[in-house]
């Protein structure tokens, strides 16, 4: 396909990357590209919310927004099956902008109903960092919706450091100047983790679920202990991802880990379920 596409692109007088790229997509990829565009236009995406808990008080600390796709023919599609595709086909930025705006609108609604605001986290693709429009895009959505940036956490991954470290750090500084908090997601799956902890101006680290898979191993527990104390020395909070059992909860609490997320506490919930189960109204707080 590549040779043929390049030939046609040249013939057409447009040795243009985008054009060349589109010519090379196989039919199933073209279908997914148009499917995602259609999903955005026709509101096939929706958002679920998974609470994160303060491990010592067991109170809700924050809520993570996670995307889902309700495909008209294929049914429910997990983000694992379309996010990286979207990242590779220039579709992650429109998806993120849609999601962030929906989240801001939803939270404002909850506040207007009298619920006490809870910080909310949104996953941000490294592609968005590299594109250079993240700060501007976030600013626009915050000012359009009037959402309080101090209640927003952006989850990024270490891969933002793969290309342009300076630019990545600069972008994080700009976001934090706005009052936004930054978390490193899936921490420990990359290979330069410890040096990035020191370099990146962040607020939280999300310990990847793989750490929990071998909690019976004493060495693994001492690794978590060390990461937690390093993080605390750097003034960072530690979030454990994927807590599924009471035992994991207890072991992590003993390591000094601050926050936990996982099926043990709650699965991701629809907005209405979250509202009913976890958000405290002012009235309830006052009683």
210 binds, among ligand C2E, Mg ion, none (CB under 5 to 8 A by kind): none
Closest contact distance (angstroms) between CB of 270 and Mg ion is 18
Segment 75 to 134, residues that bind Mg ion, using CB under 5 A: 123
Q: How far is the CB of 185 from ligand C2E (least distance, A)?
A: 5
SS3 237: strand
Question: Which of 36, 63, 99, 183 contacts ligand C2E by CB under 6 A?
Answer: 99
Asked if 242 is part of the footprint of ligand C2E (rule: CB under 6 A), the reply reads yes
> How many Å apart are CA 28 and CA 246, to the nearest integer?
43
**262 makes contact with ligand C2E (CB under 6 A):** yes
Q: Which stretch binds Mg ion (CB under 5 A): 19-27, 31-39, 83-91, 203-211?
A: 203-211
List 50, 62, 106, 206, residue binding Mg ion (CB under 5 A): 206
Residue 68 or 176 with smaller CB distance to ligand C2E:
68
CA distance 73 to 36: 13
Distance, CA of 104 to CA of 138 (rounded, Å): 11
Instruction: Among 39, 83, 197, 239, indicate the residue that binds ligand C2E (CB under 6 A).
Output: 83
**Positions that interact with Mg ion (CB under 5 A):** 123, 155, 185-186, 206, 241
């Amino acid at each position: 396909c590549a040779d043929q596409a390049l030939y046609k692109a040249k013939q057409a007088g447009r040795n243009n990357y985008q054009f060349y790229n589109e010519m090379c997509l196989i039919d199933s990829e073209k279908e997914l590209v148009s499917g995602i565009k259609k999903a955005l236009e026709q509101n096939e995406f929706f958002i679920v919310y998974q609470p994160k808990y303060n491990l010592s008080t067991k109170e809700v600390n924050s809520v993570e927004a996670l995307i889902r796709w309700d495909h008209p023919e294929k049914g429910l599609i997990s983000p694992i099956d379309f996010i990286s595709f979207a990242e590779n086909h220039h579709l992650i930025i429109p998806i993120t902008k849609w999601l962030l705006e929906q989240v801001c609108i939803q939270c404002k609604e909850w506040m207007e109903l009298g619920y006490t605001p809870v910080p909310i986290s949104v996953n941000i693709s490294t592609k968005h960092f590299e594109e250079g429009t993240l700060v501007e895009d976030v600013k626009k959505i915050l000012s359009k919706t009037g959402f309080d940036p101090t209640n927003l956490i952006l989850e990024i991954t270490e891969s933002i450091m793969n290309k342009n470290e300076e630019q990545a750090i600069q972008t994080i500084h700009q976001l934090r100047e706005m009052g936004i908090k930054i978390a490193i997601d899936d921490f420990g799956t990359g290979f330069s983790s410890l040096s990035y902890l020191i370099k990146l101006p962040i607020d939280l680290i999300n310990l990847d679920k793989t750490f929990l898979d071998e909690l019976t191993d004493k060495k693994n527990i001492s690794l978590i202990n060390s990461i937690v104390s390093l993080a605390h020395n750097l003034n960072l909070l530690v979030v454990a991802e994927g807590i599924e059992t009471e035992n994991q909860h207890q072991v992590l609490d003993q390591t000094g880990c601050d926050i936990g997320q996982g099926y043990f506490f709650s699965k991701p919930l629809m907005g209405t379920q979250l509202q009913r189960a976890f958000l405290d109204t002012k009235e309830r707080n006052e009683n």
